[in-house]
A and B are shown apart, each in its own frame.
Chain A
Amino acid sequence: KQEVTQIPAALSVPEGENLVLNCSFTDSAIYNLQWFRQDPGKGLTSLLLIQSSQREQTSGRLNASLDKSSGRSTLYIAASQPGDSATYLCAVKVGNEKLTFGTGTRLTIIP
């Protein structure tokens, strides 16, 4: 059974700093990995999708990496801004199209 863990559960950093969010999964037989952000009371916004054959994806200040063999992914946020404050979720897709979600990291950027 696939299990996805995100550490830390909460993180506070001063504005302007670079930061890394971690995601680990127990079964490396994934189809892809997706990072989302969720703002309070809102739905999920897809940030980056990494296919199992890829090592990383970049979008603006965000960079996500994937190491399937070790069951890890990281989301790197450069030059953090207060608007980056949200809960960040990683999810892995297995063959039957199901997404298994991590527990999330609640990020607070301090102005």
Chain B
Amino acid sequence: DTAVSQTPKYLVTQMGNDKSIKCEQNLGHDTMYWYKQDSKKFLKIMFSYNNKELIINETVPNRFSPKSPDKAHLNLHINSLELGDSAVYFCASSHVPGTDTYEQYFGPGTRLTVT
């Protein structure tokens, strides 16, 4: 019954590799997000998709490419991984169409370690 799920939970990889993180929500929301939480625990928005369309792209390197195959899924692909990409990445979703409520629900996070 997990509302927002992410896979994998942990990801350890070497510099220069390409990796993907998957996110799925079963809440019927039409908006999904990717956030990055750095080593100082600060959370910052990276991308937001509404009905499979990109609506927010916050100064993120081109090596990061989100993909939304449908409203329930938002995946994050990262090319040429760098040490500075090590962080916890959170997926979130919000907004049931036809309502005014934009409460965001978060996934459990993916801890990415680049060595």
Residue of B nearest to A89 (CB): B43
Q: Contacting A99 at CB < 8 Å: which of B42, B45, B101, B109?
A: B45
A49 to B102, CA, bound (A): 9
1/0 per residue, CB under 8 A from A, across B33-47: the answer is 101000001111100
Enumerate chain A residues within 8 angstroms of B100, measured Cβ to Cβ: 51
In the assembled complex, which residues on chain A have CB atoms less than 8 Å from the CB atom of B94?
A: 97
Interface size class of B (residues with CB under 8 A): 20 to 34
B105 contacts A46, CB within 8 Å?
yes
Interface size on A, residues (CB 8 A): 23
Q: Give complex CA distance A32, B94 in Å.
A: 13
Chain A, residues 37-51, CB within 8 Å of chain B (1/0): the string is: 000001111100101
Interface contact tally, CB-CB below 8 A: 58
Could you tell me which residues of chain B, from 80 to 105, have a CB within 8 Å of some CB in chain A?
A: 90, 92, 94-95, 100-105
Of all chain A residues, the one with the shortest Cβ separation from B111 is A41
Instruction: Given the known inter-chain contacts A32-B102, A46-B103, please indicate yes or no for A101 contacting B43, CB distance below 8 A.
Output: yes
B69 nearest CB across to chain A (Å): 20
Report chain A residues within 8 Å CB of B90.
43-44
- The answer to whether residues A43 and B107 also contact, given A49-B101, A97-B48, A97-B50 and a CB cut-off of 8 A, is yes
17 CB contacts below 8 A, A to B, read: A34-B103, A36-B106, A43-B90, A43-B108, A43-B109, A45-B106, A46-B103, A46-B104, A49-B101, A91-B43, A91-B104, A96-B56, A97-B50, A98-B48, A98-B56, A99-B35, A101-B44
Known: A46-B106, A89-B43, A99-B92. 20 other contacts (CB 8 A): A31-B102, A36-B106, A42-B108, A43-B108, A43-B109, A44-B106, A49-B103, A87-B41, A93-B104, A96-B48, A96-B55, A97-B31, A97-B55, A97-B102, A98-B45, A99-B35, A99-B104, A100-B45, A103-B42, A104-B41
